[in-house]
Structure 1
Amino acid sequence: MAVIELNTISKRYRNADSNAVDRVSFSLEKGEILALVGESGSGKTTLLRLIAGLEHPDSGTIRLGEEIIVSGRKSVPANKRKTGMVFQEYALFPHLTIYGNVAFGLKGLKKKETEQRVMETINLTGLKEDVKKYPHQLSGGQQQRVALARALAPRPELLLMDEPFSNLDTILRDQVREEVRQIIKAMGITAILVTHDTKDAFSTADKIAVMLEGRLLQLDTPDALYKDPNSSYVADLFGKSNNIEATVSPRGFKTPFGFVSGPKDCPLAVNQDKVNIFFRAEEADFCNAEEPHLCGRVEQCMYLGDHMQLKVCCNRCATCAGGNEVEVMDDSQRILLKSSEQTWKTGDVVRFKLKNYKVKAADSE
């Protein structure tokens, strides 16, 4: 049985023109970590607050474990739900030590049981040596771990985190992300985190849910989202992608950059006249003029340390395209390529071939 299950959850705030959350459904199994990703106003924080009990949905149901916690007018109070919450600002009590902060949420336990639970959690989060310190004496990373320990001490069925890494600098952020994932996995707790940073999502979560204007666009593993996004919005959210227009021919697809051989058993090649060819920059290899290739001209070069990013426009010269069937349907189209060479300059002819690509419907957004 799923630990958390949402069924067509919707929420509209007073005087709003549209839903903040619009018919969202998903479920998570025990031990899974889900990242809710999207731009500001996409509904991800509202959805987290609905799960936590800080807001009530207009429609839909939420089940936590075996209990229905939201259905119609029924709503289990936030403090009665078996959830832990880590806020963006951590919300630590400044007058309490680490021990006091972690122990704060433990109710109904005997003193010895409380001490044991607190120390187990503190040891797990690596805070044993700082147990008598106050929040102002701690670094940002330590404060984050205290907030996590306080949320985990009651042993919740579900851990909720709202932008948990946003207050950390870049170097510390990478370290804390890995620590948090290890701690959650060690305890076997199901978790949902809200983030606008796709790196947080990729490095922490088992699954990622992309939201836009209150709707759930795609929920999948990080690998599947990156390699097979279901829309151009999702594709661009996780790094620059190339999505070029192509017309269908008997042997494949004609693009502004040359001819692409069609994959076997592609239903789109049969059912549509125009398609989109989707590929990431790293899915293209540079090649010489003697082998079949696509062709373009460098419009812009950007040095990014470990590679050079090339912005490439289509090339009208058929001979540069190795005799391929060039059909310049839209000479405004641009693609991005990655190169380990740093010798490229504006105006250079680029010859390349695709190692991998996806064919999508031309009207796919």
Structure 2
Amino acid sequence: MAADMDASSVLDVRNLAVSFRTDRGEVPAVHDVSFTVKPGETLALVGESGSGKSVTSLAVMRLTPPAPQASLTGSILFRGRDGQVRDLATLAEHEMQAMRGNEISMIFQEPMTSLNPVHRIGDQIAEAVRYHRKVDRQAALDRAEELLVLVGIPEPRKRLKSYPHHLSGGMRQRVMIAMALACDPSVLIADEPTTALDVTVQAQILELLKELQERTGMAVVFITHNLGVVAEIADRVMVMYAGRIVERGGVVPLLKHPLMPYTHGLLRSVPRLELAAFGQAKLEAIRGNVPDPTRMPQGCSFHPRCDHAELGRCDRTIPILEEAEADHLVRCHRWRAIASVEA
């Protein structure tokens, strides 16, 4: 029996932790991650590569390797179309198969590797429709054609017979979106769906997702490292670093008044046209790299890269996730001092 869930939420992740078994022992990848998403809302997961964003999304979809290769703990509460709340973390695999691609779907990072190169586009989209809706092949292909129209692909009937290599990167990404939307999911997880696309196609994909969300009311979990995209599409933001949430809040207060030094660093790394106009085009960078999960530093995992780190404190204890303001959480020992200086 799933735990109680806020009636306004469609997805409620609580204390999610994921670790992997390796030759060097158990390696934690995600630590105590909690968040909720409401219908029609977009939550952006932000962070550098290796911060735990994709592992979090794969865990929600139950696509991490099975035990003992991987360990998943915590709750993933999901409200289905029937109004029943289920904990996806405890469902048997056959039960999860009925949910995955049907009520909760995912757009993967690389459409060229996610699409099967030896099957036609139409058959790949129709497969999910036939599996979940139990219709015949022609009805599934008709639905696939509707979806290609929905995502803005010209000559949809002709494209049903195309193979992935016949399409451009932008078209393949639209096909991936069509596949994810095939069964009208309540939650769509988009894992960096615009990373490999040029800025024009990227803008088209973002606009398409917003239009589809307004039309269907689905919730979106949007994973990205691009804060420009976050400002464009998100309602709320969750910043991750080394597998932990380090800041979470509404998109406007978090981007205007970040409290975590890591979030400050990400924002300073974004190119700004107004600075370039005044000859200040040099970008700041966060020194160092995301830590190796097998050799995580003691204390705050960001302290070796942080200009505000306090020896004897930041390098000894992991800060808790505190509520700095209403719906604005931050994980930093020194956020109060940093906020007063920034003010």
Give the TM-score normalised by structure 1.
0.63
Q: Greater relative contact order: 1 or 2 (C-alpha under 8 angstroms, separation 6 or more)?
A: 2
> Contact 1:207–1:219 (CA<8 Å) still a contact in 2?
yes
Which deviates more from structure 2 when the two are superposed, residues 28-37 or residues 13-22? 13-22
Residue aligning to 2:12: 5
Alignment coverage as a number of residue pairs: 260
The residue number in structure 2 matching 1:329 is none
Deviation of residue 39 (structure 1)?
A: 1.1
Is the contact between residue 13 and residue 75 of structure 2 (CA under 8 Å) also seen in structure 1?
yes
8 Å contact from structure 1 (residues 51, 62) kept in 2:
yes
The 1:103–1:228 alpha-carbon spacing in structure 2 relative to 1, beyond 3 Å, is same
User: Is the Cα contact below 8 Å between 1:208 and 1:222 reproduced in 2?
Assistant: yes
- Give the match for residue 26 of structure 1: 35
Deviation at residue 86 of structure 1 after TM alignment: 1.2
With over 3 angstroms needed to count, the CA separation of the structure-2 counterparts of 1:51 and 1:8, relative to structure 1, is: same
Output aligned runs, 1:67-78, within 5 Å: 67-71=85-89, 74-76=91-93, 78=96
Q: Write 1 or 2 for the structure with the bigger share of strand.
A: 1
Cα offset, 1:16, TM superposition: 5.8
Name whichever structure is richer in helix by fraction.
Answer: 2
- The answer as to whether partners of 1:225 and 1:235 remain within 8 angstroms in 2 is no
Code of the residue aligned with 1:119 in structure 2: it is: E
Other structure's SS at 1:165 match: coil
Q: Note closer, same or farther for the CA distance 1:76–1:362 as it changes in structure 2 (3 Å cut).
A: same
- RMSD (Å) for aligned C-alpha atoms: 3.1
Q: Distance in 2 between matches of 1:163 and 1:224?
A: 23
Displacement of 1:24 in angstroms is 0.9
- CA shift, 1:142, in A, is 1.0
Aligned to 1:190: 219
Unaligned runs of 5+ in 2: 1-6, 65-69, 283-306, 308-333
Q: Deviations over 1:140-180 (max 9, x none)?
A: 11111111001101111211122211111233222322222
**Superposition map of 1:1-365 within 5 A:** 1=7, 2-14=9-21, 15=24, 19-55=28-64, 58-65=72-79, 66-71=84-89, 74-76=91-93, 78-81=96-99, 82-90=103-111, 91-106=114-129, 107=131, 108-110=134-136, 113-133=139-159, 134=162, 135-239=164-268, 304-309=275-280, 361-362=336-337
Please give the alpha-carbon distance, in whole angstroms, between the structure 2 residues aligned to 1:47 and 1:304: 35
- Name 1:349's counterpart in structure 2: none
TM-score, normalised via structure 2 length? 0.67
Please state how far the C-alpha of 1:360 moved relative to its aligned partner.
5.8
Per the TM alignment, residue 47 of structure 1 is displaced from its structure 2 partner at its CA by 0.3
Residue 303 to residue 86, structure 1, CA distance change in 2 (3 Å): closer
- Counterparts of 1:21 and 1:235, CA distance in 2: 22
**Runs of 5+ unmatched residues, structure 1:** 242-281, 283-301, 312-332, 334-358
Structure 1 residue 99, shift from structure 2 partner: 2.7
Higher CA-based Rg? 1
